[in-house]
């Protein structure tokens, strides 16, 4: 009876010793899966960068619209009364023709620069979106492949662990049956 119990205890000790290896292996698979949690942070950063580029594009468009409005006011001679320009013209009188032409030329130049800046920002935004989309698609494919492999390996490890557990219990059962 002592030999049977000792033999069954030996099988249980072997199984208990293998648990540490199994836990270490499971931790390895968990680390692989945790790696993809960082993907969300990277994706969030890409979205923030896109929002920033989009904001800069909107600012450039808004600036261009303001300059065009100023030009229109200068050309037509209509000035909004509640603007700083409207108040100064009411207080100090209208600008001379030379001053208006000088301001008009400066506004034309500024509008051209604004249009060029807007085109550049728009191209920058399109390029960023295209590059980001390609990176995201490539990452998604790699993620699917890696997760597929990791989950298959994890399932194989679980099957192996279960087989080892069954073997230990079968051996222990044989030891108990011999008593």
pLDDT of residue 73: 82
Q: Which residues, in sequence order, are CB contacts of 54 under 8 Å at separation 6+?
A: 125
pLDDT of residue 82: 58
Q: Which residues, in sequence order, are CB contacts of 153 under 8 Å at separation 6+?
A: 29
The alpha carbon of 48 is separated from its chain's Cα centroid by a whole number of angstroms, namely 8
> Do 53 and 128 form a contact (C-beta atoms < 8 A)?
yes
pLDDT of residue 80: 59
Residue that is written with structure tokens 């009188």 in the block: 93
* Local structure of residue 71 (DSSP, 8 states): H
pLDDT of residue 156: 94
pLDDT of residue 68: 92
Which of 165, 118, 117, 151 lies closest to 18 in space, CA to CA?
A: 165
Q: Which two tokens stand for residue 22?
A: 């199994």
- The CA-to-CA distance between both ends of the chain, in Å, stands at 5
Angle at 47 between CA 151 and CA 33, to 5 degrees: 15
Distances in Å between the alpha carbon of 171 and those of 15, 91, 152?
A: 11, 105, 28
Residue that is written with structure tokens 């001679």 in the block: 77
Per-residue pLDDT of the chain (179 residues), as tens digits, is 678 778 888 878 888 888 888 888 889 888 888 888 888 888 899 999 999 999 999 999 999 999 999 888 878 876 555 566 666 665 555 667 787 788 889 999 999 999 999 999 999 999 999 999 999 999 899 989 988 998 999 999 999 989 988 998 898 888 888 87
- Burial letters 136-156, b for 16+ CB under 10 A, else e: eeeeeeeeeeeeeebeeebee
């Amino acid at each position: 009876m002592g030999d049977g119990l000792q033999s069954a205890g030996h099988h249980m000790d072997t199984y208990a010793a293998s648990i540490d290896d199994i836990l270490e292996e499971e931790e390895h698979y968990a680390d692989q899966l945790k790696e993809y949690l960082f993907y969300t942070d990277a994706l969030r950063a890409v979205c923030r960068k896109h929002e920033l580029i989009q904001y800069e594009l909107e600012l450039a468009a808004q600036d261009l619209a303001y300059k065009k409005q100023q030009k229109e006011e200068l050309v037509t001679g209509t000035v909004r009364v509640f603007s700083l320009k409207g108040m100064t013209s009411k207080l100090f009188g209208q600008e001379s023709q030379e001053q208006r032409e000088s301001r008009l030329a400066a506004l034309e130049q500024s509008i051209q620069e604004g249009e060029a800046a807007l085109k550049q920002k728009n191209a920058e935004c399109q390029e960023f979106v295209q590059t980001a989309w390609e990176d995201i698609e490539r990452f998604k494919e790699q993620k699917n492949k890696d997760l597929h492999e990791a989950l298959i390996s994890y399932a194989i490890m679980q099957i192996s662990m279960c087989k080892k557990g069954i073997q230990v219990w079968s051996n222990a059962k044989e030891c108990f049956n011999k008593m």
